Amino acid sequence: MTQYTLNLCSQYGVDSSVIFSVMYHESHFNAGATSGSGAQGLMQIMPETGEWIAWRQGKEYDESRIFEPDYNIDLGCWLLSFLLEKYNGDVELAAA
């Protein structure tokens, strides 16, 4: 998972410490984590958000894979990259 995550960070231009911090805070690195609101996986992706991310990536969303670390991290890295661009690199706003 680590090398793949580092590759995604590089691909999406997101500092790996941000991604690992989000994974720790959101799921404590538990790939099977779920929240009471329905967020899922390492990066706690909501199903609707996962669908939107996949659509923006030009891919088909596969809900059956949301607990797979590589899939979940790909969606989360893309989203953080998008939010960092939207909020001019402000990590606090992007993570909120």
* Active site members: 26
Residue 81: how many other CB atoms lie within 10 Å: 19
